[in-house]
């Protein structure tokens, strides 16, 4: 939907506001994402993309498909009402409910579904990549313009603390998901051992 502005003046104000928001967001990324914009931890990227996915879903609502002779076609009103016809709603949330491995298998088990899901995944992938690119470019502008004087510079100890905190959340999530290599208890012990050794 095209935004409606009260006037050109209002449009100018809204554009400036959007620009300011991106600057603030890039500053947040610089302050909270270790190594950004040159590097980005996998766990942080996963959470970031999860946010992108929410917005993408708002702009691209799930569509109802009718399954006809093993083909997936956009359902007509009649097909939606017909309870005898198999239907499925496919949007970004459904598309990414498949792991990469599961999605790959679809190409063999259900080529038609793979094509529809693949189109959604590809569209979102481009969208998210562009959003991250915008954030990185703005962060680099801040760094190059010397505006980092307003950000708090973390020393090594503070940076490592942030890294350990982030990975602490990650190991808990992975343990809860059944990852047998993830152990909150072992992680806490390892972190304590690191600091005990480092602070000698």
What are the start-end ranges of the E strands in 5-70?
63-68
pLDDT in tens, 150-177: 455 667 787 788 777 877 777 777 777 7
Q: Is 90 helix (H, G, I), strand (E, B) or coil?
A: strand
Name the β-bridge partners of 87: 66
Which position has the higher pLDDT, 106 or 179? 106
Query: Are 102 and 139 found together in one domain?
Result: yes
Given this model, what pLDDT does residue 153 score?
62
CB atoms within 10 A of CB 174: 16
Question: In this predicted structure, which of 27-31, 118-122, 182-186 has the lowest mean pLDDT?
Answer: 182-186
- Please check the confidence at residue 186 and state whether its pLDDT lies above 70: yes
In a domain, 94, yes or no: yes
Query: Are 80 and 179 found together in one domain?
Result: no
The pTM assigned to this predicted structure is: 0.70
| C-alpha to C-alpha distance for 98 and 106, rounded to whole angstroms | 9
Query: Are 147 and 97 found together in one domain?
Result: yes
Query: Are 98 and 195 found together in one domain?
Result: no
Query: Are 133 and 191 found together in one domain?
Result: no
In a domain, 2, yes or no: no
Q: By percentage, how much of the chain surpasses pLDDT 90?
A: 62
pLDDT in tens, 39-60: 999 999 999 999 999 999 999 9
CB 53 within 8 A of CB 92: yes
Which position has the higher pLDDT, 166 or 20? 20
Show the domain range for 177.
154-200
- Please check the confidence at residue 149 and state whether its pLDDT lies above 80: no
- Total count of domains within the chain: 2
User: Beta 71-74 vs 87-90: how paired, if at all?
Assistant: unpaired
17 DSSP assignment: H
The dihedral of CA 192, 196, 197, 199: what is its sign?
positive
């Amino acid at each position: 939907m095209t935004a409606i502005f009260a006037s050109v003046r209002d449009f100018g104000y809204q554009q400036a506001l959007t620009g300011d928001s991106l600057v603030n967001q890039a500053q947040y990324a610089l302050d909270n994402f270790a190594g950004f914009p040159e590097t980005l931890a996998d766990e942080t990227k996963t959470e970031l993309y999860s946010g992108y996915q929410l917005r993408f879903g708002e702009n691209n609502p799930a569509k109802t498909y009718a399954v006809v002779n093993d083909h997936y076609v956009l359902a007509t009103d009649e097909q939606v009402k017909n309870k005898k016809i198999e239907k499925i709603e496919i949007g970004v949330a459904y598309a990414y409910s498949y792991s990469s491995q599961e999605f790959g298998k679809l190409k063999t088990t259900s080529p038609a579904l793979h094509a529809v899901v693949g189109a959604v995944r590809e569209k979102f992938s481009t969208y998210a990549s562009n959003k991250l690119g915008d954030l990185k470019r703005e962060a680099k502008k801040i760094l190059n313009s010397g505006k980092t004087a307003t950000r708090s510079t973390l020393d090594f100890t503070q940076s490592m603390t942030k890294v350990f905190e982030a990975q602490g959340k990650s190991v808990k999530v992975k343990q809860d998901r059944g990852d047998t290599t993830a152990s909150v208890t072992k992680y806490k012990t390892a972190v304590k051992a690191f600091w005990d050794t480092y602070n000698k």
